[in-house]
Amino acid sequence: MSLYVYKFGGTSVGSVERIKIVAEKVKKAQELGNQIVVVLSAMSGETNRLIGLAKEIQVQPTDREMDVLISTGEQVTVALLVMALHELHCDAVSYTGSQVKILTDSTHTKARIREIEDAKVRADLDSGKIVVIAGFQGVDEGGNITTLGRGGSDTTAVALAAALKADECHIYTDVDGVYTTDPRVEPKARRLKQITFEEMLEMASLGSKVLQIRSVEFAGKYNVALRVLSSFQEGCGTLITYEDSQMESALISGIAFNRDEAKLTITGVPDLPGVAFKILGPVADANIEVDMIIQNIADDATTDFTFTVHRNDYERAKAILEATCAQLGARKVTGDNSIVKVSIVGVGMRSHAGIASTMFKTLAAEGINIRMISTSEIKISVVVDEKYMELAVRALHTAFELDKVTEER
Amino acid sequence: MSLYVYKFGGTSVGSVERIKIVAEKVKKAQELGNQIVVVLSAMSGETNRLIGLAKEIQVQPTDREMDVLISTGEQVTVALLVMALHELHCDAVSYTGSQVKILTDSTHTKARIREIEDAKVRADLDSGKIVVIAGFQGVDEGGNITTLGRGGSDTTAVALAAALKADECHIYTDVDGVYTTDPRVEPKARRLKQITFEEMLEMASLGSKVLQIRSVEFAGKYNVALRVLSSFQEGCGTLITYEDSQMESALISGIAFNRDEAKLTITGVPDLPGVAFKILGPVADANIEVDMIIQNIADDATTDFTFTVHRNDYERAKAILEATCAQLGARKVTGDNSIVKVSIVGVGMRSHAGIASTMFKTLAAEGINIRMISTSEIKISVVVDEKYMELAVRALHTAFELDKVTEER
C-alpha cells in the first residue's frame, strides 16, 4: 500500500463543480489501494476577497489578524471537499492546520513549519479514511493561527509528505508539468519527465513559477519525491527527484528567463575593502532584492560594480546608488531597465565542458549582445536586451537539443 | 472598573462600514474606563452563503464538516473588528472558540458549552486589551470544531459573561429592547426598561424572538445581568434580571403571540392508562414539536385529546394521528391550521387573582371565541382564530394598561 499526499491549488478547487472533480480523482486513487492525504488551498479569488475586506478597514493590518482572517479560506475548502467525498461514499475527515497540528514559529504571514504531529492523521489513514488538511496554515506555540505565505499550501503538502514518509507528494496545478522552457515563448518546449531538485530550484527562482521555491527546498532536504501534475488533464507530470546516474546523459534540462530585470552600474569606485557592502548595504536596507552581482577591476585604483534588481525597484535603487556614488567619490551611476535574464539550467553541465561556449556561440550567431554573465554549478545566466529574449530562448532551446527530449528523460 | 461583554449580531457587522461603527462604540465604552469583551456573529448572509455551497455538494452534509465550514464566518468578523479597533489605535486581539478555549460537548451543530478557559482573556483585559471572540463556536475534547446552533452567539456572550463574572452582558441587535408586544401589531407597544428572566423565557418561546432562548436560560442560571440594546440607536435597552420586589406592582409585562400554530384533536379515545404516550409518542418520534396539550374527559369511558404543533408540521402530524386513531379505536381526528396563540406574561400574576378572568372578559367583550386555554405560573395562553389575532393583542394590551407603562418599569 502506498501513501500519497495530493495538493490541489485554488484553481483546482475554485468552484463546487471542480471540488467534485477533485473528489472523484481522490476516490479513484484510494480505490487503487492507496492511502491518501489531501492538502487544499482556498478557492481561487477567496484569499484576495478577504484581503480586500481587510484593506477597506486598515491600510496595514497586523499580521496576526490577517492570519486569522485569511486562514478561513482553506478551512472552507477542506470542509467542502470532505462533503464531496462523503457524497461519493468515501470515509473522510478534515483538519485545519491547528487541528493537525502543524506547529510553526510565530512569524505571522510567513511562518515556518517546526513540527507536525502526525498521530491523528496516521490513525485516520489506518482506519481507511481520506484525510483532508487545510494548506498554508499552522499554529504557533501560543495557539495563534499562522500562515506560511502565498503558495504555502505546497509547503504544507511537502512537509506532511516528509512527516508521513509518503511515497510521493503530488502537486496538482493548472500546468501538466515542468517544461524545458515556457511554451508561450518556444512552442517546441517539451514536458520533462524528471528533473532534479537543484535544477527545479534554479528553474523556479528564474521565473518558471510552477512550485513555491520553499516547498522544493523542503522536498529536497527531506527527500520527498515531488510530482507536478495537471488537475484537469490526465498524465504523469514531472517527477522532481535527487540526481541519479541515469540522468547524467542530459546536459541541459531547461531554459529559464526573467523579463522583469533591470541593471545598475556604478563605475570608478575607489577599490577599498568593504566597498561591496557600502554599495549593497543601503539597497538591502531599503528592502530591495538584488539578483546578479558582478564586480570588475577597471584599473589599479577603481572598480566597476554592477547588479540587477526587479524592474519595479529600479528607480528607488538608482536614487540610493546615486547617493552612495557621491558619498564614495565614485565616477557615475548608469542603468538600464529594458534587460532580461536568460539562463540554461542542468545538473549535466557539472561534468561536461563546453556548455558555456556553446551558449555564447549560439547567442553570437544570432547577433545577440551579452551584457552580463553569471554562473553557478548548474546554471549559466546571461543578461541581454529585452528585444532579444524570445530569440535567445528559442536559439538555446534548439542548440541544446531540448526540442528532441525523449520520454526517458 | 466594570467588565462588559458586548455581543453584536450579523446585521450589526454586516458590512465594513458597520464593523467600523461597532469599533467606535466599543472604543467609547473602553474609554469610559471599562474592560470590554466583544462577541461577534458572522456577517449577515455569510452563514447562509456557506450552507448554500455545502448543499450544492451534499444534501445532508455531516454535522462535523458543517461546523468546520460555517465556523469560518465568525472567524472573519473577529479579525476584521480587531483591524478596525487597531485603526482607532485601540489595543485588541481576536480569538476563535477553539483558541479561547470554549470547551463544548461533541454534539455538532448544536453543542453545549461545558467550560470556558478564561485565563488568556483575563490576562488580555488586565493588560488593557479589548478581546474579540468568535461567537457560536467552540471545540470539543477531541479538538473538533463545534457550533452552538443558530443564535448561538448570544449563548457564547452569556457564557463568557458568567465565566468572567461580567457586570453586564449587552446583546446588540436590530431592535432597541423588549416590548410589551410587537409594535407592528399594536403601535402603542412600549419598550420595557426591565423584565425578569422567567418572563423573558415565556416571551421568547411565545414568539418575541429577540434573544435565543438558551442564552436567556443560561443567563438566569448563572445570574448574568443581560441587556438588549440596538446597535444603531442610542438608548439603554431592556435589562433582563431576577425578579425584585420593586417590580411586584406590575401585573403583566407583555403580550406574546404566535401566528404559526395549528391544532389537532382526537376524540373518543378509550381512556386507559398510557393513552397520552400512545398519542404523542409517534408524533415525537417524527421530530414534531408539540406546544400546548389539553386532555378532557368526554364521558366515563373515553377522552378527548388536543394539542398544537407548528403549522408546517400540521399535515404530517395529522397523518400520524389518523394512524393512531385507527390503532386505538378512537372516534375521529379533527384539526385546524388557521389558529394563533395569544399569551399574557407577567411574574406579577402569581400573587394577583383575577388576571385570567380579566383576560377572558376582555376577549369576550370583543366577540373573540377562545378555542383552547393553557396556563402556567406566569402566563396564560389562549388559542383563537387567526383573524382575531391583532384584535386580541390590542384589546389585551389596553386592558392590562400596558399602553401606560412608565419609565420606572
pLDDT for residue B49 is more than 90: yes
Mutate to test the interface with B, among A38, A57, A109, A117 (most CBs of B within 10 A): A57
Q: Which pLDDT value is given to residue A391?
A: 95
Considering A118-127, A398-407, B272-281, the range whose residues carry the highest mean pLDDT is A118-127
Domain chopping of chain B, boundaries: 3-174, 255-404
Q: pLDDT, tens digit, for every residue of B83-109? A: 999 999 999 999 999 999 999 999 999
CATH number of this structure's domain A255-404, picked from the four choices 3.30.160.40, 3.30.2130.10, 3.30.379.10, 3.40.50.720: 3.30.2130.10
The minimum CA-CA distance between A232 and chain B, rounded to whole Å, is: 19
Average pLDDT over residues A140-158: 91
Q: Which pLDDT value is given to residue A305?
A: 87
SS3 B251: coil
Residue B371 in grid coordinates: 378555542
The minimum CA-CA distance between B16 and chain A, rounded to whole Å, is: 7
CB-neighbour burial class of residue B104 (10 A; exposed 0-12, middle 13-18, buried 19+): buried
Which residue among B54, B61, B79 sits closest to A69, beta carbon to beta carbon? B79
CB-neighbour burial class of residue B365 (10 A; exposed 0-12, middle 13-18, buried 19+): exposed
The minimum CA-CA distance between A54 and chain B, rounded to whole Å, is: 6
Q: Which pLDDT value is given to residue A3?
A: 97
Residues of B in contact with A80 (CB under 8 A): 53-54, 57, 69
pLDDT for residue B248 is more than 60: no
Please answer whether residues B63 and B108 qualify as being in contact, where contact means their C-beta atoms are separated by less than 8 angstroms: yes
Q: How far apart are CA A203 and CA A184, in angstroms?
A: 16
Closest-CA residue of chain A to B54:
A80
Please answer whether residues A280 and A256 qualify as being in contact, where contact means their C-beta atoms are separated by less than 8 angstroms: no
Closest-CA residue of chain A to B69:
A76
Q: Which pLDDT value is given to residue B76?
A: 98
Place A407 in a pLDDT band, splitting at 50, 70 and 90: very low
* Side-chain half-sphere exposure of A227, counting CA atoms within 13 A: 16
pLDDT for residue B243 is more than 70: no
pLDDT for residue A142 is more than 60: yes
CATH number of this structure's domain B3-174, picked from the four choices 3.40.50.11540, 3.40.109.10, 3.40.1160.10, 2.40.33.20: 3.40.1160.10
pLDDT for residue B376 is more than 90: no
pLDDT for residue B190 is more than 70: yes
In terms of phi and psi (left: phi > 0; alpha: psi -120 to 50; beta: otherwise), the region of A246 is alpha
Higher per-residue pLDDT: B170 or A200: B170
Q: What letters, b where the CB count within 10 A reaches 16 and e where it falls short, cover B260-281?
A: bbbbbbbbbbebeeebeebbbe
The minimum CA-CA distance between B205 and chain A, rounded to whole Å, is: 33
Neighbours of B335 (CB within 10 A): 18
Please answer whether residues B135 and B201 qualify as being in contact, where contact means their C-beta atoms are separated by less than 8 angstroms: no
Which of A110-124, A292-306, B75-89, B219-233 is least confident?
A: A292-306
pLDDT for residue A408 is more than 50: no
Higher per-residue pLDDT: B256 or B38: B38
List, in sequence order, the alpha helices (H) in A208-305: 213-221, 275-285
Which residue among A53, A68, A75 sits closest to B68, beta carbon to beta carbon? A75
Place A298 in a pLDDT band, splitting at 50, 70 and 90: low
- Cell 561534468 belongs to residue: A351
Q: How far apart are CA B255 and CA B208, in angstroms?
A: 9
Tell me how many residue pairs between chain A and chain B have CB atoms under 8 A apart. 100
Q: How far apart are CA A268 and CA A299, in angstroms?
A: 9
Higher per-residue pLDDT: A201 or A138: A138
pLDDT for residue A409 is more than 50: no
Q: Answer whether B96 sits within 8 Å of A145, measured CB to CB.
A: yes
Which residue among B86, B99, B143 sits closest to A99, beta carbon to beta carbon? B143
Q: pLDDT, tens digit, for every residue of A364-374? A: 999 998 888 88
Residue B43 in grid coordinates: 456577517
Q: Which pLDDT value is given to residue A290?
A: 86
Q: pLDDT, tens digit, for every residue of A320-361? A: 999 999 999 999 999 999 999 999 998 877 766 678 888 989
Average pLDDT over residues A238-248: 68
Which residue among A62, A66, A80 sits closest to B54, beta carbon to beta carbon? A80
Place A234 in a pLDDT band, splitting at 50, 70 and 90: confident
User: Average pLDDT over chain B, rounded to whole?
Assistant: 89
Which residue among A53, A83, A98 sits closest to B80, beta carbon to beta carbon? A53
The beta-strand segments (E) located in A271-398 are 290-297, 302-310, 332-345, 372-376, 379-385
Give residues with Cβ within 8 angstroms of A396, minimum separation 6. A255, A342, A344, A359, A362, A363
- Strand-pair partners of A93: A131
**Interaxial angle between packed helices A119-126 and A152-164, expressed in degrees from 0 to 180 and rounded to the nearest 10:** 70
SS3 of B14-79: the string is: CCHHHHHHHHHHHHHHHHCCCEEEEEECCCCCHHHHHHHHHHHHCCCCCHHHHHHHHCHHHHHHHH
Q: How far apart are CA A195 and CA B346, in angstroms?
A: 79
Q: pLDDT, tens digit, for every residue of B149-160? A: 767 899 999 999
Place A165 in a pLDDT band, splitting at 50, 70 and 90: very high
List, in sequence order, the alpha helices (H) in A32-151: 46-57, 63-70, 72-87, 97-100, 119-126
Q: Answer whether A57 sits within 8 Å of B94, measured CB to CB.
A: no
Average pLDDT over residues A163-169: 95
Q: How far apart are CA A97 and CA A133, in angstroms?
A: 7
Which residue among B56, B79, B80 sits closest to A16, beta carbon to beta carbon? B56
Higher per-residue pLDDT: B30 or A242: B30
Residues of A in contact with B80 (CB under 8 A): 53-54, 57, 69
Residues of A in contact with B93 (CB under 8 A): 64
Q: What letters, b where the CB count within 10 A reaches 16 and e where it falls short, cover A182-209?
A: beebbeebbbbbbbbbbbbbbbbbbbbe
CA distances from A204 to A182, A260, B283 (A): 12, 14, 65
Residues of B in contact with A18 (CB under 8 A): none
Average pLDDT over residues B14-38: 96
Q: How far apart are CA A200 and CA A209, in angstroms?
A: 10
Q: Percent of chain A beyond pLDDT 70?
A: 94
Place A157 in a pLDDT band, splitting at 50, 70 and 90: very high
Higher per-residue pLDDT: B292 or B323: B323
Q: pLDDT, tens digit, for every residue of A31-58? A: 999 999 999 999 999 999 999 999 999 9
Q: How far apart are CA A390 and CA A370, in angstroms?
A: 14
Residues of A in contact with B75 (CB under 8 A): 68-69, 71-72, 75
Q: Answer whether A16 sits within 8 Å of B69, measured CB to CB.
A: no
Which residue among B16, B94, B96 sits closest to A56, beta carbon to beta carbon? B16
In terms of phi and psi (left: phi > 0; alpha: psi -120 to 50; beta: otherwise), the region of B260 is alpha
Please answer whether residues A305 and A317 qualify as being in contact, where contact means their C-beta atoms are separated by less than 8 angstroms: no
Higher per-residue pLDDT: A349 or B41: B41
Q: Which pLDDT value is given to residue A337?
A: 93
Q: Percent of chain B beyond pLDDT 70?
A: 94
Average pLDDT over residues B312-324: 94
Closest-CA residue of chain A to B145:
A99
Instruction: Tell me, yes or no, if the pTM score tops 0.90.
Output: no
The minimum CA-CA distance between A3 and chain B, rounded to whole Å, is: 24
Q: Answer whether B75 sits within 8 Å of A71, measured CB to CB.
A: yes
Q: Which pLDDT value is given to residue B406?
A: 54
Please answer whether residues A253 and A345 qualify as being in contact, where contact means their C-beta atoms are separated by less than 8 angstroms: yes
- Cell 534548439 belongs to residue: A398
Phi, psi for residue A300 in degrees, rounded to 5: -65, -35
Q: By a Cβ cutoff of 8 Å, what residues of chain B touch chain A?
A: 16, 19-20, 50, 53-54, 56-58, 61-62, 64-66, 68-69, 71-72, 75-76, 78-80, 82-84, 86-87, 93-94, 96, 98-99, 143-145
Q: pLDDT, tens digit, for every residue of B116-139? A: 999 999 999 999 999 999 999 999
Place A399 in a pLDDT band, splitting at 50, 70 and 90: very high
Which residue among A72, A78, A79 sits closest to B76, beta carbon to beta carbon? A72
Residues of B in contact with A96 (CB under 8 A): 68, 145
